[in-house]
Structure formats: structure tokens, C-alpha cells
Structure 1
């Protein structure tokens, strides 16, 4: 029996090939089953059976669950892709309006426009002969603090500059809409 580090039968190649790790990490989703965050030291409320005390509320708040739902991940991916297209100059910043809650749309579009202007300034400062580097996503970290709301932090890179973008999406009438966007 051969070990994994021995040479292959023809003697010219190793049995195991090592490949370099990509420069980005995938989103955090290594927990196959969501875990409910509870404490063993948390006090439980015992309600009397005779009804003398106030009864518990009829609608209980759902427990906080680790990780984000698949629907939230899809909405984040869609929003990030649209923001990157705006930052690269392939879309106008006004296209962010349709993915934002109407009461917050002006702020979301203004942040997208400011980020697009900054990216355009970076492209203009480079030499005319140099290829303009697009804004690319390095890492996306997201969490769902409550059902129907997801917050994400995105690391972006263009050339030798690293940026950050943070946003919040909320579920309104079965549609994910942005309520906040910040490009740093």
C-alpha cells in the first residue's frame, strides 16, 4: 500500500497536487443547521395555571437564529451585483432606486452616486494608457438580526485601493428593499 506522499506509478508526478488558495473567502455559511442562541443561565418564566397573573402574549417573537436565510442571501447577492455595476459605471445610480424602500430611496441613490463618482475619479487619475481596473468584490459578510431584515458588509477593491460598503435590506410586502447604504 502506498502513502499519499509517494510518487505516482510513472515516477514523474506527485500523487497529491497543491493549488493556491483564492484571495477571497466565501460568505460565512458553515453551519449546516441554524443554532438558536440561548443561555443555560437564562431564567424561565413560569406562568401560574390558575390565570391569576397576566397571561403570556399571544404572539411571541421568533428566536434569533445564527446565519441568514437563503432568500436573504439571494437578495444580498442581487443588491451587491447592482451596486458594483453602478460603481463601475455600467449603470446609473438611479437604478438603485427600484431596490430601495421609497422613504429611503434618496439616501441610497445619493450614496451610490457618491461611490460612483469616487470610483470615476480613481479611474481618471490613472494614466491614460493603463487599463482601468474595475471595482471587484473581495468578501461579503452578512447577518440576519431578525426575520425580515439582513445587514451586510462588503469589502471591495479597485487597483490598489480597498473600499467598504455596508447596507441593510428589509422585507416589505414580500420584496427585499434597501433602507440604508454606506460606501466608505
Structure 2
């Protein structure tokens, strides 16, 4: 069996030869062992534990995660979409009940209903009678996860020339994200 392929030259070009690939490729940069750069000028800060005034060794702290988890972001997206549909009149405010903690479901639904009424009043006060009123749209969503299993969100909304906001908190209860608080400003 031949390991090379040769093509006959058809002019001024040389013959093409394909050679087999080596069995092992060189390691990637992230696979190479890191090199330690020792310096004679580097100051060693090895504090003895029994010296008074020496700092205590650091305790193992839980890892800090930047931003919110993917599950929290997905739950926020679903809840914001549901709220916007309620505010635009595509859904009744009672649909917020299934996404709320049972203890606070009445307050969440009441806030959604008040927000939908406010949007309706804004549309009537605008004086323009159009076939399609200006829908409520999301301008910005800001969220943080202060602890695992809880996410707090502020959403900036716009309808027509009016800008307003909603704030809510979602918590993870029995493997599902539920709203505990909803405030429409």
C-alpha cells in the first residue's frame, strides 16, 4: 500500500505529494503545562500562623457567579413575556396566577390587572383612534441573582410616548420558578 499520492506534472508545476498525517498532533496551548516564572526579586509572603497580628488563612467561600444562571434568565424571559401579553390585553391577568407563589398570587394578579387598566387608560387618553393601538414593548431588562434560587428583575417598558417599569422577584420552589412579588410603577 502506498502512503503518498503522486500526480504527473502537466507543465511548469511540480508534482503534488500527499503524505500521511503524524499519529499525534502537537498539544494545544491550553493543554501545555503552565510555566512558572520564578523571579529572584519576588517577595515571598509566607506568614507564620502563630505570629500575633498575622492575617488568618482564607476560609473556603462559596464560588461567586457573575450574572444570573441560565435557568433564571429563561424564567425571567417567560415571566416578562407573560406580563407584556397581559398589559397588551392578549391575556387575562388571571394567567399570572399560575406563575405566582400561591401565598402571593392574589397580589401578583391584582398588580397585573392594575397595569392592564393603566395601559387601557393611557390609550384612551391619547386621543388617537387607530385600528391598532401602540403595544407595550420592552426597552431593557436588568436582573440579578442575589442568591441561588432567587432572581430580582427590573424591566423598562414603553407604550406610545410613556415609559414605565415593572419590578418582580422570582424564586425557585419545587423545581419551578414562581413570582413572589410584582410591582408595576
User: For the superposition of Structure 1 and Structure 2, which TM-score range results when normalised by the shorter chain?
Assistant: 0.5 to 0.7
Q: Give the Cα–Cα distance (whole angstroms) in 2 for the partners of residues 98 and 86 of structure 1.
A: 13
Question: Which structure: larger Rg?
Answer: 2
Task: Report the alpha carbon displacement of residue 161 of structure 1 after superposing the two structures with TM.
Answer: 0.2
Structure 2 CA distance for partners of 1:158 and 1:63, relative to 1, 3 Å: same
Which stretches of structure 1, 4 residues or longer, exceed 3 Å deviation after superposition?
A: 42-46, 60-64
Q: Is the 8 A contact 1:64 1:145 kept in 2?
A: no
- Structure 2 distance, partners of 1:64, 1:148, is 14
CA-atom RMSD in angstroms = 1.9
Q: Which runs of 5+ in 2 are unaligned?
A: 1-54
Given the two structures, how large is their TM-score scaled by the length of structure 1? 0.66
Structure number with higher relative contact order (C-alpha < 8 Å, ≥ 6 residues apart): 1
> What does 1:1-184 align with in structure 2 at a 5 Å threshold?
44=57, 62-130=62-130, 131-184=132-185
Q: TM-score, normalised by structure 2?
A: 0.66
Q: What CA distance in whole angstroms lies between the structure 2 residues aligned with 1:182 and 1:126?
A: 24
1:104 and 1:61 map into 2 onto residues whose CA distance is 33
1:173 & 1:106 partners in 2: Cα distance?
20
Within 1, Cα distance between the matches of 2:116 and 2:56? Answer: 51
Distance 2:183 2:135 in 1: 19
Task: Tell me the distance in 2 between the aligned counterparts of 1:160 and 1:43.
Answer: 57
Structure 1 pair 107/127, CA: closer, same or farther in 2 (3 Å)? same
Size of the aligned set, in residue pairs, is 130
Match of 1:28 in 2: none
